[in-house]
Structure 1
Amino acid sequence: MSLGVKLNRKNQFFKKSAGLFSPVLHLYAVLLLSVLHLSAQCQTAKTKPIANSQRNVLFNKALGLDNGINISWLEQTWNAEALKHKPFGNEDFVLLKQLGFKSIRLPVAFEYYSSRHIPLKQVLARVDAVLSQCKHYGFKLIIDYHGGKINDNNYAAATTEAINNWLLICKHYKNENTGRLFYDIYNEPPHMDPQRWKDAAYNIITAIRKVDKERTLLVGASNFNSIYELSRTQRMADNNIIYTFHFYEPFFFTHQGAAWVGDQVSTTGVPFPYDGEKFPQLNPKAKGTWGEINYAQYQRDGNEQSVKDKLQIVKNWSNKYNVPILCAEYGVYNKYADVDSRCRYIKAVRKSLAELGIPGMLWDYNTNFSIFAGKPSLAHLSPCFKDALKYVIKTD
């Protein structure tokens, strides 16, 4: 989830310094990037199909991530105290276990900490603690590279920075169980040239494979892990990838009132599903924006069938290329949407994901998309949400 916080950070590389996110392998990464940029242009799915047994293992890994949840913490660049405080502990893992969750996605703003000269070991110490708890309580963990700066204008430098960071991260976790720890290589690439993003992803993946050849990687499409962009691309040549997407459709409902998004979502009080008697007037601020178009289309889009139809798009793509997919984020901003509508939406998404056999991860556990009415606890979870959490993929 990108919270839309705009950080005025310069693209730069820091001098070599023990313990910092310094580009120890900067020269290597630059050379690698220059070589791989051209080769990425011709990389398609033209590799021989992997054996069914290997493919089954990969699909089972994806299914094992179902009923997951995101922990918002180390991506909070707006929170200067984020590294100093741990917002969850053993009691939270116990609660998640009680509720049936099986996997955790941990977003980490590596480049933000790098730009503040914060030692990598200090950041990874926090990640290590989460990994240790995941092992103890039986959760699988995804380390998500959050808050990167890649765009059409800074492709070379920003991709190299991501490569440098991943080389260090991979070295640190190289010996961890490949069935329990996964890497989401880049959260929500922006609205940029799809081929340029695919080149960047190829370069990052190839660099990771120099250190860790066996780790299963999560890779999404541009335009913020869009299902539509993913459905228009080809799978990559690497045979150990789970393709990821984020699902907040209809955005007009899920992000209503979210200030970081802008005027297009300024209309609040939007119910789910659509109810003509409760449907609010369009906020004047939304006129002339995508919000005005989405307002007019909400009667069509604001229902469970529309949710499932959109998820079917990415399921069809998965079937076409015979590759596993993961919905790494779905949820509702909880400040303005009423609790019953939020619950009905979460239930609709989880039900649709389960019926289509797509594993999913809720955004998020403990902040402004949380399903809890207060501090996470069973007492703060409505019966409706408890019922919604029952929808999971049925496995033999």
Structure 2
Amino acid sequence: MLSILTLLGLATNCNAYSGPKVEKKLPYSKGLNISEWLEPVSGFIDGHFDSFGKQDFIDIKNLGVEVVRIPTHFDTFSSGKPDYIIPDSLWQRLDNAVNWCEELKMYIIIDFHNDCSGNSKTPPDIEKRLEKIWPQIAKRYKDRSEYVIYEVMNEPHGIDCAKWGKIQEKMIKLIRSIDSKHSIVVGAADWNSIHELLKLPMYDDDNLIYNYHEYSPFLFTHQGAEWSQDVTRLTGIPFPYVKEKMPPLPKNATDGERWNYNNYPVDSSEEKLVEPINKAVEFVNKRHAALMSNEFGVYMKYANPQERVNWYRIKSGYLDERNICRVSWDYRGGFGVFNSMNSSRFPEDINVNLVKAMGYRAPSGKSTSWFQDAQKKNDYTIYKNGLAQKLTFSSYIPEAENLCTLYKKDSADEDCYIYIPKADKYRSLQFLFRESVDFTALAKAGACLEFEVKHNEPNFKMSIYFTDSDAKGHPWRNGIFPGVKDIPADGKWHKLRIPLNRFTDYGAWDNGEQKWYNSEGKFTWSDVVNLTFDTGDNTISKGLCIRNIVIK
């Protein structure tokens, strides 16, 4: 077995990628996870619920991606016990993703995801949850194209491996009772372990894709990871292993830290990295099945950038040579393909060296923002029959049963609108411009914010405000406060047209400090980052509908 140094061009040239090949090839070979979208954090539904739109899928396709995986917390979004009904608000997001992928001829894995934080465990009643949810998914997508793929469940853990194997078999049969067409991704317990994969029972289905997750060597790929206590204090780990480059062990090292550190020379060797992959190839060939690794990657925060690139080049080579489909974790975020965890402009923020190492196309050119496009077209539409391209929508509505529906329709020939069934105090819908924009000229020219609302709330009142960046200390708000006198509670659509110069600077909420600041007259139209519709100190109990939002 050859050293990894060979793969880096630091030793004699020869084919270090060689190994057994998966005989049943898939029509796609490489992809990305679209994380931080349909994954509530610790059961809290909020934030980035609409941080991805069609343009993001177009950008991903332009990289050369062939398959995307959509991690989705179905049970968290659902109605819960006993029926776990999936709400329209989630179906609409998934329907859009499927539509976009079919249009772009890009495969999509609908993944039943779950809480994978370090101390989590698969719920004891997971079988009951899956039994209720998978028929809903299969019935909804059974007639869609071959681009749709199902994944029974992500990373079962804290559950007996043999028990999980039987539960998974039951779910395969349940899905097949509804949908005999689409491929099903299956994996083992112990966090989709490749070692446990080899112990899965024989499933009577000829359209399965066996899957494992690939983060080896863990000490390198997860160094400094805040959610994994055995490596949180271990940073500066080199790849490949070089004794002279290793940092010292932390003082008072735990048993877990010591184990990871002392085993790293072996864990990072080529033999240790490829041996389990070769066994997995032999395993699926005996079952005449396909193989994928639909999570693999390196946390970018502490890894040396060039060594991180080297890891992806080596791992991608291992998998490609063996006909193993690879789906990297992730697109944005800590394992993403951008230059930092906080950058997301496409294509200028893409990590070119990284995407080349992964075998993707390196994009060129420069993106335009919603505001730049609006200026060119003199059309400042924010929402009309759906969210405007290049904007992001974020909702602060933590209650699953009250989630807003972003694309509600009453009839096929009517435009979409935003619908909130119920809302407590201080719940908000936020339209983010994804950059600081300058509305000064529009405000001076007498432009208005125009939108339509309907409701049946007798005490209706809400806050609608623009927020600037925190460049002046805090994110100052400039708002208006329409009530039932402005928008009657009659269940009919009413259009409001409010000049921007009638908005009032009324203060700032500093989320970092968790503190409210009264107005200091510091809001500026030259530095606006979002538009928010907020319930303020009122509640919504009979539904709220909003549509056709534009500045004109």
**Could you state the TM-score of these two structures normalised by the residue count of structure 1?**
0.76
Matches within 5 A, 1:204-283: 204-283=171-250
- Equivalent residue of 1:111, what SS? helix
What is the aligned length?
Answer: 329
Q: Deviations over 1:123-166 (max 9, x none)?
A: 11111111111112221111000017996882xx3201111011
Aligned to 1:380: 349
User: How many Å separate the matches in 1 of 2:206 and 2:218?
Assistant: 32
1:166 matches 2:134: yes
User: How many Å separate the matches in 1 of 2:355 and 2:298?
Assistant: 16
From 323, 329, 343, the counterpart of 2:289: 323
Aligned to 1:67: 30
| Contact 1:148/1:187 (<8 A) preserved | no
From 144, 154, 157, the counterpart of 1:187: 154
Shift of 1:358: 0.7
1:175 matches 2:143: yes
| Contact 2:74/2:86 (<8 A) preserved | no
Q: Deviations over 1:101-137 (max 9, x none)?
A: 1110001001111267885211111111111111122
From 63, 70, 73, the counterpart of 1:99: 63
Distance 1:376 1:219, change over 3 A: farther
Aligned to 1:343: 309
Shift of 1:90: 3.3
Bigger relative CO (Cα 8 Å, ≥ 6 apart): 1
From 97, 100, 109, the counterpart of 2:73: 109
Q: Deviations over 1:165-215 (max 9, x none)?
A: 1111111112111x2101001100114322100111012112112211222
| Contact 1:77/1:109 (<8 A) preserved | no
Shift of 1:308: 2.6
Shift of 1:79: 8.2
- Equivalent residue of 1:211, what SS? coil
User: How many Å separate the matches in 2 of 1:163 and 1:153?
Assistant: 14
User: How many Å separate the matches in 2 of 1:391 and 1:285?
Assistant: 43
From 366, 371, 374, the counterpart of 2:337: 371
Counterpart residue identity of residue 232, structure 1 = K
- Equivalent residue of 1:343, what SS? helix
| Contact 2:29/2:320 (<8 A) preserved | no
Distance 1:148 1:202, change over 3 A: farther
User: How many Å separate the matches in 2 of 1:68 and 1:388?
Assistant: 13
- Equivalent residue of 1:143, what SS? strand
Higher helix share: 1
| Contact 1:272/1:303 (<8 A) preserved | no
Q: Deviations over 1:226-281 (max 9, x none)?
A: 00001233431222211111111111111111222223443111121112232111
Counterpart residue identity of residue 59, structure 1 = K
| Contact 1:269/1:279 (<8 A) preserved | yes
User: How many Å separate the matches in 2 of 1:384 and 1:84?
Assistant: 28
Distance 1:300 1:181, change over 3 A: same
Distance 1:239 1:118, change over 3 A: closer
**Could you state the TM-score of these two structures normalised by the residue count of structure 2?**
0.56
User: How many Å separate the matches in 2 of 1:201 and 1:312?
Assistant: 24
User: How many Å separate the matches in 1 of 2:252 and 2:126?
Assistant: 35
Distance 1:284 1:208, change over 3 A: farther
User: How many Å separate the matches in 2 of 1:379 and 1:153?
Assistant: 42
Give the superposed CA RMSD.
2.6
User: How many Å separate the matches in 1 of 2:227 and 2:236?
Assistant: 18
User: How many Å separate the matches in 1 of 2:320 and 2:360?
Assistant: 6
Distance 1:95 1:355, change over 3 A: same
User: How many Å separate the matches in 2 of 1:164 and 1:377?
Assistant: 39
Matches within 5 A, 1:49-88: 59-60=24-25, 63-72=26-35, 73-78=37-42, 80=44, 82=46, 85-88=49-52
| Contact 1:107/1:146 (<8 A) preserved | yes
Aligned to 2:101: 134
User: How many Å separate the matches in 1 of 2:245 and 2:315?
Assistant: 22
Aligned to 1:37: none
Comparing 330-339 and 107-116, the one that deviates more: 107-116
User: How many Å separate the matches in 2 of 1:223 and 1:277?
Assistant: 34
Q: Deviations over 1:11-40 (max 9, x none)?
A: xxxxxxxxxxxxxxxxxxxxxxxxxxxxxx
User: How many Å separate the matches in 1 of 2:50 and 2:98?
Assistant: 14
User: How many Å separate the matches in 2 of 1:74 and 1:358?
Assistant: 26
| Contact 2:86/2:133 (<8 A) preserved | no
| Contact 1:148/1:162 (<8 A) preserved | no
Provide structure 1 residue ranges, at least 5 long, that are not aligned to the other structure: 1-57
Aligned to 2:514: none
User: How many Å separate the matches in 1 of 2:192 and 2:48?
Assistant: 30
